[in-house]
Amino acid sequence: MAILTANNIVVNFERRGNGFFAKKEKFQALKGVSVAIEPGQTLGLVGESGSGKSTLARAIMRLQAIDAGTVFYGNDDVSAYSARMPLALRRRVQMVFQNPDASLNPRQTVAAILSEPLEIHFPQMDKTARRERVAELLEMVELPVSMAQRFPHEFSGGQRQRIAIARALATQAQVVICDEPVSALDVSVQAQIIKLLQSLQKHLGLAYLFVGHDLAVVKELADCVAVMCRGEIVETGTPDDVFYRPQHPYTQHLLAAVPRI
Ligand X SMILES: Nc1ncnc2c1ncn2[C@@H]1O[C@H](COP(=O)(O)OP(=O)(O)O)[C@@H](O)[C@H]1O
Q: Given the rule CB under 5 A, which residues bind Mg ion? A: 53-54
Our finding on whether 49 is near ligand X (CB under 6 A) is yes
- Stretch binding ligand X (CB under 6 A), from 18-26, 50-58, 150-158, 247-255: 50-58
Our finding on whether 47 is near ligand X (CB under 6 A) is yes
Our finding on whether 53 is near ligand X (CB under 6 A) is yes
Cβ-based nearer residue to Mg ion, 54 or 115: 54
- Stretch binding ligand X (CB under 6 A), from 42-50, 73-81, 155-163, 190-198: 42-50
Contact string (CB under 6 A) for ligand X, positions 4-33, x = contact: ---------x---------------x----
Q: DSSP for 51-105?
A: SSHHHHHHHHTTSS--SEEEEEETTEE-TT--TT--HHHHTTEEEE-S-HHHHS-
51 interacts with, out of Mg ion, ligand X, none, CB within 5 to 8 A per kind:
ligand X
Our finding on whether 90 is near ligand X (CB under 6 A) is no
Our finding on whether 232 is near ligand X (CB under 6 A) is no
Cβ-based nearer residue to ligand X, 207 or 226: 226
47 interacts with, out of Mg ion, ligand X, none, CB within 5 to 8 A per kind:
ligand X
- Stretch binding ligand X (CB under 6 A), from 1-9, 35-43, 53-61, 137-145: 53-61
Min dist. Cβ of residue 98 to Mg ion (A): 7
- Stretch binding ligand X (CB under 6 A), from 47-55, 76-84, 123-131, 143-151: 47-55
Cβ-based nearer residue to Mg ion, 53 or 219: 53
Min dist. Cβ of residue 200 to ligand X (A): 23
- Are 32 and 38 in contact, with CB atoms under 8 Å apart? no
50 interacts with, out of Mg ion, ligand X, none, CB within 5 to 8 A per kind:
ligand X
User: What burial letters (b/e) apply to 177-190, b meaning 16+ CB within 10 Å?
Assistant: bbbbbbebbeeebb
Min dist. Cβ of residue 94 to Mg ion (A): 17
Angle formed at CA 255 by CA 254 and CA 260, multiple of 5 degrees: 135
Min dist. Cβ of residue 59 to Mg ion (A): 12
Our finding on whether 117 is near ligand X (CB under 6 A) is no
Chain contacts with ligand X (rule: CB under 6 A): 13, 29, 47, 49-55
